[in-house]
Amino acid sequence: MRRISPIMLLGCVLLAAGCGGDDEKAPAACLEGAGLYVEGGRGDVLISDCLTENQGGGELATVGAAMVAAATELNREARAEPGGGANRRLGYLVGAAERGAEETEGIHADLLRRLKAAALYSPADRSPSATFLSTYRRGVEAGRRQG
């Protein structure tokens, strides 16, 4: 029977430890539902912090579902009161998500498409008003800068 040297064993352990563990974790607040995203962040947690490089599929699904739910809720409120706080927070959410996804090599591209679709949803018989779009765009820019 052939013996493995301690150095070879250590090398194998270090190699195994480095494999498959590259998923970055989002802050816990990012995984607690839509609240963080409706509010535009919370304390020291930015929305952009919730989209991490090499994010695991389960975490990405949880974050994505919460973001789309928040965008859907904010869109409903914003259509009822164009130019209001919900309208600006809706744009902020999208801009902050874009900021977070900038350096993640495209793994969040589908989420961003879904998020924008939920944010800009409008019934077939009504287009978003100029006020809605203007406020939304200001929110997007704010989210890109500081979200």
Domain enclosing residue 49, as ranges: 22-146
With respect to residue 1, please indicate whether it lies within any of the assigned structural domains: no
pLDDT for residue 94: 98
pLDDT at position 129: 92
Q: How far apart are CA 145 and CA 64, in angstroms?
A: 21
Note whether residue 10 is domain-resident. Answer: no
Instruction: Decide if 74 is inside a domain.
Output: yes
Looking at residue 22, what is its pLDDT?
57
How many domains is the chain built from?
1
| Residues 101 and 51 sit within 8 Å (Cβ to Cβ) | yes
According to the model, what pLDDT value does residue 134 have? 96
Would residue 129 count as lying in a domain? yes
Range 31-37 average pLDDT: 95
Mean predicted confidence (pLDDT) in 45-60: 94
Does residue 12 lie in a domain region? no
Q: Is residue 15 part of a domain?
A: no
17 falls in which pLDDT band (50, 70, 90)?
very low
Beta strands in the chain (DSSP E): none
pTM of the entire predicted model? 0.82
Check whether 19 has a pLDDT greater than 80: no
C-beta separation of 24 from 54 below 8 A: yes
Give domain status of residue 79, yes or no: yes
Residue 15 predicted with pLDDT over 70: no
Q: Does 50 reside within a domain?
A: yes
13 has a pLDDT exceeding 80: no
Question: If you average pLDDT over residues 109-129, what whole number do you get?
Answer: 92
Amino acid at 124: A
